[in-house]
Amino acid sequence: METYDALLASIAPAAGTGRTIFDPATGEAVGEAPIHDLEYLESAVAAAVAAQPTWAALGHEARSAALLKAADAVERSAEELAQLLSREQGKTLNGPNARFEVGACVAWLRATAGLPLEPETIVDDGETRAELHYRPIGVVGAIGPWNWPMMIAVWQLAPALRMGNAVVVKPSEYTPLSVLALVETINGELPGGLLTVVSGGRDVGEALASHPSVGKVMFTGSTATGKAIIRSSAETVKRLTLELGGNDAGIVLPDADPKAIAQDIFWGAFLNTGQTCAALKRLYVHDSIYDAVCDELTAVAKAMPMGNGLDENNVLGPLQNKAQYDIVASLVEAAKASGARVLLGGNPDTGQPGYFYPTTLVADIDNDNPLVAEEQFGPALPIIRYSTIDEAVEKANGLDVGLGASVWSPDLAAAREVAARIQAGTVWINRHGAVDPRIPFGGAKQSGYGVEFGVEGLKALGVPQVING
């Protein structure tokens, strides 16, 4: 286990060669991140190409053992990593936030190491025998976002390594320190050159996505950037896993108990202060319980303290950057101007430091209002009335994205019937956003394609090969 200062020093660039990363809660400097250029990227890819064959030859058992050791290393430095994450990303230590995220990194490394992947016998009829195997791709480019920088990096690198690939990671320019520190910790248990972080700008990400020696790109981020990666991948026919934007709907059926579901709805929407791809971003509530749900959700939200992430009392932090703050503020102002009813929040204190936007609930809002139709990615939840299930499903399916969704009802059979009608990669019942390393996760429509997690996600990091004979 390293001290916090030692961890930060281990990833610091040479004096005068980096750029300063600032705490979104206070504006204070967190540390210096290296500025890697295209030449550095080329060296990272070359090292990955050189290291990958030996790693692949070790086999699944040895690679899984290395991932388990990496998980132990992350666990030993968990508090230091969480402190760094809180300061750089803004999320609080407590609640489902920084400590939770580092714990998820440990859990995903261990779960990925334990996934079974045996050859599949497809045909064996006495005349023909065909087996399906999965072979390493080679080098995987992993491009991650700023909202869950450590956890999503592990979602990408763990299965890639387990399958025998080398990995080059490109973190968000907003949160490079967290990923640099995580990979530095993991690399203590891996061969040199196998896993590298390239901390650069957009030009580096574009070059990684189009690099001829990179066989697959995994990307989590905006739909617009995902489309650019699709275009750049065409020349070399790269394999892709894309987890893109979402605007997840939740449908509360008329038999739901407002008090019983309020806290779970709150965390489904406000996990990481709403900065989660698969957060609940539009809540559809039946007329008969609409006011009661609004009241109960408001009561829960009022009790959730927001502030500096290093304060042990807080469970909600700031937005990570000014651009995202401005998006949330603009959407809420548009909702207010339209006559929607603000139940809570909507009144940021612009005199305090940091990108804090208050927990905001907006009722009696039209379904085509920008706060509903556009992904806010922050602590503002619109609550929309509906009268019939058909109406709710139609509204939930009305956008061109479909990452996740949820249905809320004590009648599981009825909830599953509604869930089956929703166009989304995952539909949760009586919860929202609960991902699991054993269960495949991916989007529908313009929320991307390909799946992560579980055996299916592991297979996506390999090349299927049929041996026939």
Where is 155: in which H helix or E strand?
Answer: helix 149-162
The Cα–Cα gap between 31 and 8 comes to 7
* Beta carbons within 8 Å of 260's beta carbon, 6+ residues apart: none
CA distances from 256 to 14, 280, 343, 413 (A): 58, 17, 21, 13
The β-bridge partners of 133 are 465
For 190-227, b/e burial (b = at least 16 CB within 10 A) is beebbbbbbbbeeebbbbbbbbeebbbbbbbbebebbe
The Cα–Cα gap between 179 and 169 comes to 9
For the record, the structure tokens of 307 come out as: 């502030």
The Cα–Cα gap between 120 and 358 comes to 52
Out of 277, 296, 375, 452, pick the active-site residue: 277
- The answer to whether 243 is a known catalytic residue is yes
CA quadruple 410, 413, 417, 423: dihedral positive or negative? Answer: positive
Closest CA to 175 of 33, 386, 284: 33
For residue 209, give the 3-state DSSP assignment. Answer: helix
Q: What is the DSSP letter of 279?
A: S
- The answer to whether 452 is a known catalytic residue is no
The Cα–Cα gap between 453 and 442 comes to 9
User: Could you please report the per-residue DSSP string of 74-90?
Assistant: HHHTHHHHHHHHHHHH-
Closest CA to 320 of 118, 62, 97, 104: 97
Out of 32, 173, 189, 243, pick the active-site residue: 243
The Cα–Cα gap between 396 and 408 comes to 14
CA 400 to chain centre: 19
Residues annotated catalytic, as ranges: 243, 277
